[in-house]
Structure 1
């Protein structure tokens, strides 16, 4: 362990480990990154790693919870101070910017579920809660448009599909295509609402 890391308090070391684990898991995959790799990349001894985190799975869980907070902040920023229709469409613009980043490797939650969902119940639970939370936020915004609540899961599926497609294709085209499909769905739902109100 480096003298610099040794001098850090547990909270600072925990943050350093999670930041390193996030980068490695996202880039290489969770199964490919053992505790020895995490030790050498973070500069934290195995003894201290296991004192701060009882298992690799607990690190994965903390990384996902950290990502959940980051995602919620991005969604909040994208949907702030707009009318509800524009807020919904802004989510796909946010996705396009994310897909353009050099280190984009798809959705960490989908990737984690694919790797561990069948064997790590707590990881599966965190992933499901994250996806449900995103859909609940879409439901809130959809309600502001007056459109039926059934629009929210449709828009969520477009966003989820765009993330997977972009990871495979390596372009942000899926965000633009999902945005165009979202516009059709939103406008049709609003027209239906207006027709029923007449």
Structure 2
């Protein structure tokens, strides 16, 4: 599967993306059809297809937009923190906690999307997996001062993703704070 549709970002296209984004996050990608999206956006199916070409392209744009918003949110938190590795690491976990509180009551959109889209040939797959690989790269950079940056980063990633799932499921409301404290301990022990 590949998409080649170039989206022209008209007001209607943004309206469709906004409607689809809310529906995909709340109900799931496969559970929402183009009829529902068009109705929610107040457009015809033809308009939806004219703007996006396919539901797959709309899914790609939804995940791309969410990822872009997440990166901007995270970067603002990293920029506001001290450049010390522990402060940067705490900023990652605190940003994730705050993002989840504001925009993530259903858990991580990428993890949720991966539950529905695990085919590596799907055009959204690189965005889904790419976000997690980018996080691993960031954690590796933060762990650069340790004796084994890659190994430490892998542990930090597991703590982060475990907190995302635990919090997203409502299993542990303090998951991000607990994981942050454990991550800081992992980092300190490796320096």
Change (3 A) 1:100 1:138: same
C-alpha displacement of 1:101: 3.3
- Please give the per-residue CA displacement for 1:22-54, whole angstroms capped at 9, x wherever unaligned: 111101111111101101110121111101111
Deviation digits for residues 81-130 of structure 1, max 9, x if unmatched?
41221111111112222333375111111101101213862222221111
* Cα contact 1:18–1:63 (8 A) shared by 2: yes
CA distance, structure 2, for counterparts of residue 40 and residue 27 of structure 1: 16
Per the alignment, do residues 68 and 10 of structure 1 end up closer, same or farther by CA in structure 2, a change over 3 Å counting?
A: closer
User: TM-score, with normalisation over the residues of structure 2?
Assistant: 0.86
The CA RMSD over aligned residues, in Å, is 2.0
TM-fit CA distance, 1:10: 5.1
CA distance in 2, matches of 1:129, 1:103: 19
Distance 1:13 1:153 in 2: 42
Q: Which residue of 2 aligns with 1:132?
A: 133
* CA–CA separation in structure 2 for the residues paired with 1:46 and 1:63: 17
1:99·1:172 contact (CA, 8 Å) conserved in 2? no
- State the partner residue of 2:98: 97
> In the alignment, which residue of structure 2 is the partner of 1:112?
113
Is contact 1:24-1:33 (8 Å) kept? yes
Aligned to 1:177: 178
Q: What is the CA–CA distance in structure 2 between the aligned matches of 1:132 and 1:18, rounded to whole Å?
A: 25
Which runs of at least 4 in structure 1 moved beyond 4 Å after TM superposition? none
Q: Distance in 2 between matches of 1:119 and 1:133?
A: 17
1:188 to partner: Cα distance:
0.3
The answer as to whether partners of 2:19 and 2:41 remain within 8 angstroms in 1 is: yes
Match of 2:4 in 1: none
Mark the runs of 5 or more structure 2 residues left unpaired by the alignment.
1-7
Q: Deviations over 1:132-189 (max 9, x none)?
A: 111112222222x345222112111211111111111265311011111101101101
Cα distance between partner residues in 1 of 2:71 and 2:119: 26
60 and 148 in structure 1: CA distance in 2 versus 1, 3 angstrom threshold:
same
